[in-house]
Structures are given as structure tokens and as C-alpha cells.
Amino acid sequence: MTDLASELPRALEQNEIVPYYQPLVDLQTRRVIGFEVLARWHHPVRQVIHPAEFIPLVEHSGLIDALTDRLLRQACLEALDWASDSSLFVNLSPLQLRDTAMPERLHQLAGEAQFPFHRLTFEITEGAVIEDLELARIVIGNLRSLGAHLAVDDFGTGFSGLRYLQMLPFDALKLDAAFVRSVTGHRETRKIVAAVMGLCQSLGLTAIAEGIESQDQMEMLRSLGYRNGQGWLFGRPTQAAQAAALLADHREHQPGPSVANIAEQVAMRLEALPIQCLWQLRALYEGAPVGLAFVDHNLRYLAVNERLAEMHGCPVAAFLGRPVCDVIPERMEQVEPRFRRALAGEVIKDVRTRYRQDGGRIVVLQSSYQPVRDGAGEIIGVSVAVVDVTGEPQGPQRFELPVFQ
């Protein structure tokens, strides 16, 4: 096999190693907010070689500065005409944190390309071994003073993450893909992911989830408070022309989650957080497209959003801390059996109920009930999601009668 290390000088000279771009998105809107710049080697024999194979060789051969400079210069030129609010995320080697001249050199490269330095975020892998933290703090501080942002990458894969967050002035934290892959299937992972979100909130860091590959993963991360993410669900690394087209087409409509799915996400968030932290659900409740509530073992409302309150014609204050039977006594016969079944561990999805409002209008509500468990697996309440489907086709869902007056 060809010795790749010996070919590196030629590859750099002939621009065989080029930037590819993987989108980062706003998880609420699916809008592209930037791209991570990833190196790809277009080898004349082996075709495309991924960075995991050649970056260690680049570092060992002392060519990491030359490669970073070339990639940054080309990326800045290619992204110059992209949306002014989009960012580029560029990886740095821990070796480069020893070079006090590096920040000014990168700032000059961006300036020559007329690319605003504040639109650059430089990433440092959490698992990287930084031998001189004080020197690294100075170098990173200089990057920030010039306007760039800093992110710790692959958080959760090493043992230095908390120390780095304490010592180095990061702006963002990227949750490693290993946690994202198991977030929908493992309760303990959800607790870790929620804890990382809490850490970011406490330290004022932007949280970014890596490796999102499915709609369920995205919805779970959104429910746990993550606003930004990247992964194959939104796009694989691609060259500049395709990246520009994706950025221009970011308004593509995406189907919203089902009522049952939202109820499940809320329930899993409650599992991941202490019940005393219900207030942390406020952002989720305010932004949800459906009515949401959490009811405890005594069938009392502990959390309700505005949308659900509007469906029932009452202010939110009329629900909180009050038994369900006091708030909607006329519907208690219908809903109490569902709550009891959910408290016994049953998941109830997409049940439609008709009732008559004041004035005679028939309203159809579709509801889902999801049991919520604490860290020990005990059921502590029920997460409810409700949507008004009046006038929509009935489909396969069943109706529960009678029509309430």
C-alpha cells in the first residue's frame, strides 16, 4: 500500500485535500445555521480518504498548520457569499494550541478572504491531550479577542472535559454522537444528555448535538432542550456547491411530530430530570404545537401550557395545583379511566373524544397519555398531549362516546 505520509507534501501542493461541509441546523426550525469544515483527501489512486486516516499523519509530519491554513482559506472564499448569519466550524489540533502566533495568522487568512472572523468557531476535541493548559488558555483567549468563537468537540468521550470547561474560555459544547445514538432507547443516556444540557445552561454555553440520524433522536434532543444539532438526518459532508444549495433550500417543510410522539418525548424528559425541576419544561411547553399537561398520582395538574388552557377555555392558573375533577368535572367520567390506566403503566395513544361546547359547537380532541417514571422506574404521573382535530378525517382512531354537553 502507498505510504500516505510520504505523499502528504505533494497532496498539499496540488490541493488534493479539500474542505467538505456538513450542515448544522436549528432543531426547532430545521434551518441551516452553519457548516462544519471537514477535510477530504481526493487521492489519485485511493479516491476519497477520510481525515481519521490521514490527520494523525499530518500532525506527526508537522504539516498541520499548512493544512489548516489551506482549508481555512478555501472555506472562507467558498462561504463568502453564503448567508451572513451562517457560521463555519473549523477543527484545530491540540498541537496548534502551543503556537501563540496561530490566532493572528488565522485572523489574517480570513481577512484576506474578506470573511468575518466572528463567523468562525474553532473546535477542540475533548479527548485531546493539552500538555500546557495555561498556554492553551492564552492562545484560545487570543482567538476570542479577535472575534472568533470556541467549541469543545466530542464532549463525553474523554476524561478532561470538565477541567477544560473550567480552564478554557469555550462558547459552545458539542455532545458526542455516541450519546445521541442511544438517547431514545436508554434511560441512563437520557439522564446524561439532560445533565449536559443543564451544564451548558449553567455555564452559558451553546449546546450542539452531533450524529443525529433519525427524527426520533431529533425530537428527543429538542425535548431535552437542545436547540442546535448536526448529523446525517440533515445532510452528509458535501462540497461547496451542494452546501450552498442546501443553505438556500433550508425552508423545506418537514412533517411535525404526532401527538403521541410529543407525549412520549415529554415523558422521557421528565424521566431524565428531577420532578422538582418541572419549571425547566417551560420552554418546551411554550413552543409545542399541541396542548400539554403533566398530572400527578393524585390527578392534580402540575404543569399546563397555554394551548391546552385555551382548548378548555380557562387560564393556565385555573389548572395548576388543582384536581382534574375540579377543572373539567363534566369530562371526568371520560378522562379518569385513561389516567388510571396510564398510572398503571399503559401507554394510550391517539384517542379521540367529542364534546359540545357552550353554544352547541361540537369539538373533537385527540389525546395521548404517557406514564412518567422516575430514576428508579416508579410511575410518578402522566404526560398528556392534546390536539384539536375538529373537521379532520376520522381515520383509524376510535371515538369514545357519548358526546358531552
The pTM of this model reads: 0.67
How far apart are alpha carbons 199 and 284 in whole angstroms? 18
Domains along the chain with CATH numbers: 4-248 (3.20.20.450), 278-404 (3.30.450.20)
- Of 124-133, 194-203, 207-216, 283-292, least confident by mean pLDDT is 283-292
Is pLDDT at 256 greater than 70 in this prediction? no
For residue 346, how many other CB atoms are within 10 A of its CB? 12
pLDDT-derived band at 80 (thresholds 50, 70, 90) equals: very high
Burial 136-166 (b: 16+ CB within 10 A, else e): bbebbebbbebebbbbbbbbbebeebeebbe
pLDDT value at residue 211: 96
Give the model confidence (pLDDT) of 122-166 as tens digits: 999 876 768 888 999 999 999 999 999 999 998 887 656 677 888
Is pLDDT at 274 greater than 60 in this prediction? no
How far apart are alpha carbons 290 and 304 in whole angstroms? 11
pLDDT value at residue 251: 47
